[in-house]
Amino acid sequence: MIIVICVFIPLRAQFRYGFQAGFNVTTQIAKNYNADFAKNLFLYGFNAGPAIDYMWGRHFSLHSGIILESKGTRGHVEALGRSADVVNRLLYLDIPLLARWNFKAGNMIIFIEAGPYAGYGLTGKARIETADTSKSWDINWGKEPQDDFKRFDYGLIGGAGLEWKGFSLEGCFGYGIANIYAVGQTGYDIEQRAFSIRIGYCFKQ
């Protein structure tokens, strides 16, 4: 029986390769932050990268890829009678692993997807502006007091989309559950959120 299953899976499974690109709307969620007023706003960016589908039967597939995408936030903070505007622009390589359920509707395929992702911070830029000063610097990655963010991020993704003749349109939401703030002992946590729209094209093997 095991031999039959091992032979059957490769016959039913099919790899498909493609490319996706689109835009991101991202922000960062600050927890346990004691400023009198802190509001994080949306930051707009991009995503792009190769994708792969492992088709298994008519209705199920595993979707992954290597996605280069911008993340970060714009924020406004008021504390101790002073205010500041802050912008963090971060560039990540994300690898999602999503289970997809595919349903045929005429000439189209409609899919829903969910699964985890892992990300690695490549580079970034930060800027802070007050009424009388402005300062910008490159993001320092690490876990020391002088660092800004940890490189590794991870979380969950859920989304849906449709495919027609190899072309796809997908919308998904990334819910970061990792604390990327470098100085963890302060109790101040930062988690990432990202809404992405992607257009892609998939080639059959």
Res. 21 pLDDT band, cuts 50 70 90: very high
Chain segment 175-204, per-residue pLDDT in tens: 999 999 887 656 678 899 999 999 999 887
- pLDDT at res. 173: 98
Q: Detail the DSSP E strand segments found in the chain.
A: 13-31, 37-41, 43-56, 60-65, 67-79, 82-105, 108-129, 134-138, 152-164, 167-176, 189-204
Q: Which residue has the higher pLDDT, 36 or 91?
A: 91
Contacts 24+ apart (CB under 8 A), 135-142: 139/88, 139/90, 140/182, 141/182, 142/182
- Asked whether residue 34 carries a pLDDT value surpassing 90, the answer given is no
- pLDDT at res. 9: 46
Give me the chain's average pLDDT, please: 87
CATH topology of domain 15-73+92-119+151-204: Porin (2.40.160)
